Amino acid sequence: MSEPILPFGDKRDAPFYGKDIVSVRQFTRGDLDYVFAVSKEMQGMVARVGTFDLLKGKVLANVFYEPSTRTSSSFTAAMERLGGSVIPINEVRYSSVSKGESLPDTVRTLERYADVIVLRHPEVGASALAAQYASKPIINAGDGPGEHPTQALLDLFTIAEELGEIDGLTITMVGDLKYGRTVHSLARLLSLFSVRINLVSPKILEMPPEIVAELEKAGTPHAAFTDLEKVIPDTDVLYVTRVQKERFQNAEEYEEVKDAYVITPATMQAAKSRMIVMHPLPRVNEIAIEVDDDPRAAYFRQMEYGMYVRMALLAMVLGKA
Ligand code: NCD
C-alpha cells in the first residue's frame, strides 16, 4: 500500500461505509488485503498511543444473546481504543428480549441510539435478519452454528502475521467441524487462497456438506480424516476447536466425542518447527496446558490480533478507513 491509511478522514465513499458484515462470503481477496492493511495500522497506533479519537462520538451497541468473553470484550476494547463508546447488552435476560421482544424490534430500537450493532445470537441467519431491518451496520459476532466472520478475519490475519504468507499452506482443522461456526467461516475465506485443507473430526462432527461443496467449487484441495496423527507432519496451521456442547441434542453423544482430540507435547513433537497452533477459544480439554509454553502456540497472540482487526472493521463500516 503506497499511501498511509492513517490519519483518517471521513471517507463516506470508502468501500465498507455503512455495510453489514454478515458472512465472509462478502469478502474478496482485495478486501482482505485492505482489512489487513488497516488492522496493521491499528496495531501500530495502539503500540504508539494506546487510544486515539478516530471514532470519537460514535456509539456501538454490543448485543450478545449467547455467552462470550473474547468477542464481546475485544469489540468493547476496539471501540474504546478508537475513542468511541459502547452500550453493552450481555444479559438479554435483563433486557426486553425476556419480555418477548422480537429481534427486528430490538435492533430497530438500538439503532436509534447507536451507530453500529454487533450481534451474537443462537440462530443461524439472525444477523442477516437483523440487517434486513436495521439501516445501521450489523456485524455478525456469531449466528448459532452458522458463521463467525470477524473471527475468521482475525484468524487469517493471525496466519498472515505469524507465517508471512497464506498461499501454499496446509491448514488442518480439528474437532467439531459440524457445529463450530469459526471453521465454517474460516474454510470459506481460505478458499480464496491456494491452500490445502485437512478436515479432522469424528464422523458425527464432519464439516457440513454445503461448505465442503463450496471448497469443491472453489477448487480448494481438501480431505476428511478421523485420525489426526496422519496429517500432523504436513500441517502448517493446526486450527483446534472446542466440541460445541451447547449444540448437542443428546448428552450421551457429546460425552462420546468430547475428548476425541487432545493436542499434547507429543503432537507438537511430530509437527513442523514452523507450524502454529490456533484456537478461537475457549478451550476445554482440546489443548494440554503443557503446550502453552511452546513458541508455536499462537492462540494467546491470536486474541490480540483480533482487537486490531475489530478496530479496523469498526472504522471501515463507520466510514473512517
Ligand atoms: C468461538 C465462538 O463463540 O464461536 N469463540 C469465540 O468467539 N472466540 C468458539 C467457541 O465458542 O468454541
Ligand 1 pocket by Cβ (under 6 Å): 70-71, 142, 148, 151, 181-182, 242, 280-281
At CA 185, angle to CA 179 and CA 189, rounded to 5? 150
Q: Can you say whether the dihedral through the CA atoms of 292, 257, 69, 18 is positive or negative?
A: positive
**Which pLDDT tens digit goes with each residue over 69-119?**
999 999 999 999 999 999 999 877 767 777 788 999 999 999 999 999 999
Ligand 1 centroid from CA 197, angstroms: 20
Q: CA end-to-end span of the chain, whole Å?
A: 14
pLDDT at 254 over 80: yes
At CA 35, angle to CA 26 and CA 170, rounded to 5? 80
Q: How many residues does the chain have?
A: 321
CB 71 within 8 A of CB 142: yes
Ligand 1, atom nearest to 66 Cα: 3
Residue 3 is predicted with a pLDDT of: 52
Alpha carbons 133 and 119: distance in angstroms, whole number = 13
Q: Tell if the pTM clears 0.75, that is, is over it.
A: yes
Alpha carbons 82 and 61: distance in angstroms, whole number = 15
Cβ of 136: how many Cβ atoms within 10 Å? 20
pLDDT at 5 over 60: no
pLDDT at 1 over 50: no
CA-nearest of 174, 227, 219 to 199 is: 174
Question: For the chain, what percent of residues have pLDDT higher than 70?
Answer: 96
Ligand 1 centroid from CA 299, angstroms: 13
Residue located via cell numbers 475513542 = 83
